[in-house]
Amino acid sequence: MAASDMAVGIIFLSQTVVGALGNSCVLLHYLVHYLMGFKVKHPDFMIQHLVVANLLALLCRGVPQTVAAFGVKGFLSDVGCQLLFYIHRVGRGMSIGSTCHLTVFQAIKISPENSSCLDLKVKAPKYMGFSVYLSWILYLLINIIIISSMTGKRSNNNATGLRDLGYCFSVDSEIILQSLYVTLLTFPDALCVGLMLWASSSMVLILHRHQQRMQHVHKSRSLRSSPESRATKTILLLVSTFVFFYTLSCLFQICVAVIYNPHWLLVKVGAIVAGCFPALCPFLLMSRDSSASSHNLYWVRNRKNPDIRRNV
């Protein structure tokens, strides 16, 4: 095995392990909150779906890419390849969808009471759960078309008309059919990215206007230090990170699709870039919740010592 393959395998392994541990820690965090009796808020509900989607996207691509990079050949059958790639695509799509839901919900939540979003502020919490589950169904249905275009390496020794994706082959279809596939697969993603950019711009504008007002009223008590502000800024950081890596991933995917026989390094780097957001996302979320840990500890202590809570 070449040194370059070993290096790529180590990168895939590190990214998958670190990302899986990070997302698992966030899930464990919410499980502990649930067992302690905390009420699950709407943003937390969406974050849980985001973390599950990240785990699916990471594990279903990172593990086979790692195995393939370390020199194991033909370890997946057609069914195994199609199933893993399908689950990866569903997880990737829901990662985008959950981030979109989180961003739009936060933009509606922090909008002023006298804005046009007042009606949405009342209705959004009621329909947010339905919208998230509908997104799961949508991505599960849309990505079914991926199954017919994937095949395993075990049963295909002749790579003519096939694109090597590392652990699987992608079957080249007719141009018209391929254009239809691309349109169906990219339209939901493009819609989500557009909504995220709109919601992020709205949040930036709201925070800027509020900061200007508070400078003339209470310099010591501004939105900058409030929980809503911290959550909003974390979501903005999350969206910025997502858009950056999503744009890079799209560029690599376009290059792989346009080039008839792309270099293996181009395919591997594209896969690594695609896994960066699911791997980094939990650590951005942890930075948001780190400030709340002292409040949670205080709540637990007061629960164990009710006399202290009464004296406070």
Is the distance from CB of 181 to CB of 145 less than 8 angstroms? yes
What local confidence, expressed as pLDDT, does residue 216 receive?
58
Look at phi and psi of residue 37 and say left if phi exceeds 0, alpha if psi is from -120 to 50, else beta.
left
Is the distance from CB of 147 to CB of 82 less than 8 angstroms? yes
- Report the SS3 class of residue 164: strand
Look at phi and psi of residue 263 and say left if phi exceeds 0, alpha if psi is from -120 to 50, else beta.
beta
- Report the SS3 class of residue 152: strand
Put simply, whether the predicted model's pTM sits higher than 0.75 gets the answer yes
Look at phi and psi of residue 4 and say left if phi exceeds 0, alpha if psi is from -120 to 50, else beta.
alpha
For residue 297, give every residue at least 6 positions away whose Cβ sits within 8 Å of its Cβ, in sequence order, or none: none
In angstroms, the CA 298 to CA 277 distance is 33
Q: Residue type for 68, please?
A: A
Give me 248's structure tokens. 């890079």
Nearest CA among 281, 235, 225, 230 for reference residue 106 = 235
In angstroms, the CA 285 to CA 301 distance is 25
Nearest CA among 61, 44, 128, 37 for reference residue 276 = 61
In angstroms, the CA 243 to CA 100 distance is 11
**Which residue shows structure tokens 């919740």?**
289
The per-residue pLDDT string of the chain (312 residues; one tens digit each, 9 = 90 and over) reads: 577 788 889 999 999 999 999 999 999 988 888 888 888 788 889 999 999 999 999 999 999 999 988 888 778 888 888 999 999 999 999 999 999 999 999 888 888 776 666 777 778 888 888 999 999 999 999 999 888 888 887 666 555 667 777 788 887 766 667 777 778 888 998 999 999 999 998 888 888 777 777 665 554 444 445 666 777 888 888 899 999 999 999 888 888 877 777 788 888 899 999 999 999 999 988 876 554 443 343 333 444 444 433 343
Which helix (H) or strand (E) segment holds residue 151: the answer is strand 150-152
